[in-house]
Homo-oligomer: A and B are copies of this chain.
């Protein structure tokens, strides 16, 4: 109907004796702007990066009430971030430490937590030897200014940037923050000469939805990696630099986010029958080759990712009226897929 209505108008305009007003010329409508999902679907294979099997944990939960299997994939954080905790987590997985333990805390708009539900240290499951003890200073890691600047410069206007008194950006597929650096060249106060771009400042991973951290007791405890949590609500950025992140859920998040919330303080399950048993947690590299999942992330340094981030920050697909003109770093989830 719309198309039929359009033709007579065009005919009338072309018959007009006077100049044709610009608004009377109906150019063919431009194709609708692609949605973020369409941009990701169109990304070339070269923009996708394999996640190494040694960086991938496969957590198998007991089947749900209807007998449906529940498998969660967790990607571990790369260097230079949290590597001591990541090393411990690999040791726990190799020792089959989590097998038979459980999810025992689900706090709405905050975290789902798993590990040993046993409070009594004497009855708790034995941990593997040789675990690393991590200092609080290791919540942050040095990162070359050059690497950081390169990553930041690439993001579209309004994406990430100044948040929570810090700069936020992506590196190698991860949401990262660092101290804010002046937009102007940094000069040595005494000599007035520019400071070389290789100077290192600290950066840290960010508590976005699905990120996996290492629970701990009161300070100065930093946690050994035996007890972990994932974010199931709005990004609790106040935890950044106060607790170690060690990875993120990249598949099966719905099995952690949709669990009933605990009735105890801070969402702990006060009713033991609510515990969700963990059948096993394995490094993908320790599984037989045919059982290893092959997963990829969209390179955050790729042209496709920048286009995707821009489209998340400025929705122009037909549903939308007003592009936001920006997005916080946690509203740009890094696309993940099974390797085709």
Q: How far is it, in angstroms, between the C-alpha of A96 and the C-alpha of B13 when the chains are bound?
A: 52
Q: How far is it, in angstroms, between the C-alpha of A326 and the C-alpha of B257 when the chains are bound?
A: 26
Q: Which residues of B contact A242 (CB under 8 A)?
A: 315, 319-322
- Name the residue of chain B whose CB is nearest to the CB of A208: B234
Would you call B209 and A233 a contact (CB within 8 A)?
Answer: yes
Would you call A331 and B218 a contact (CB within 8 A)?
Answer: no
- Name the residue of chain B whose CB is nearest to the CB of A325: B165
A31 to chain B, nearest CB (A): 16
Would you call A326 and B164 a contact (CB within 8 A)?
Answer: yes
A36 to chain B, nearest CB (A): 9
The number of residues on chain A lying at the interface, defined by a beta carbon within 8 Å of a beta carbon of chain B, is 50
Q: Which residues of B contact A89 (CB under 8 A)?
A: none
Interface check A117, CB cutoff 8 A: no
Stretch at the interface among A16-24, A79-87, A258-266, A298-306: A258-266
Would you call A328 and B254 a contact (CB within 8 A)?
Answer: no
The digit string for A189-225, where 1 denotes a CB below 8 A from any CB of B, is 0000000000000000000111000000011000000
A158 to chain B, nearest CB (A): 6
Would you call A109 and B165 a contact (CB within 8 A)?
Answer: no
A93 to chain B, nearest CB (A): 25
Would you call B158 and A326 a contact (CB within 8 A)?
Answer: no
The digit string for A308-335, where 1 denotes a CB below 8 A from any CB of B, is 0000110100111111111110110100
In-complex Cβ contact of A330 among B108, B162, B234 (8 A):
B234
Q: Which residues of B contact A320 (CB under 8 A)?
A: 219, 238, 242
Which residues in window 99-122 of A have CB below 8 A to B?
106, 108-109
- Name the residue of chain B whose CB is nearest to the CB of A177: B324
Would you call A318 and B238 a contact (CB within 8 A)?
Answer: no
A20 to chain B, nearest CB (A): 28
Q: How far is it, in angstroms, between the C-alpha of A32 and the C-alpha of B111 when the chains are bound?
A: 25
Do A327 and B164 form a contact, CB below 8 Å, given A218-B319, A219-B318, A253-B109?
Answer: yes
Q: Give residues in A with beta carbon < 8 Å to B.
A: 65, 106, 108-109, 136, 139, 158, 162-166, 208-210, 218-219, 233-238, 240-242, 253-254, 257-261, 312-313, 315, 318-328, 330-331, 333
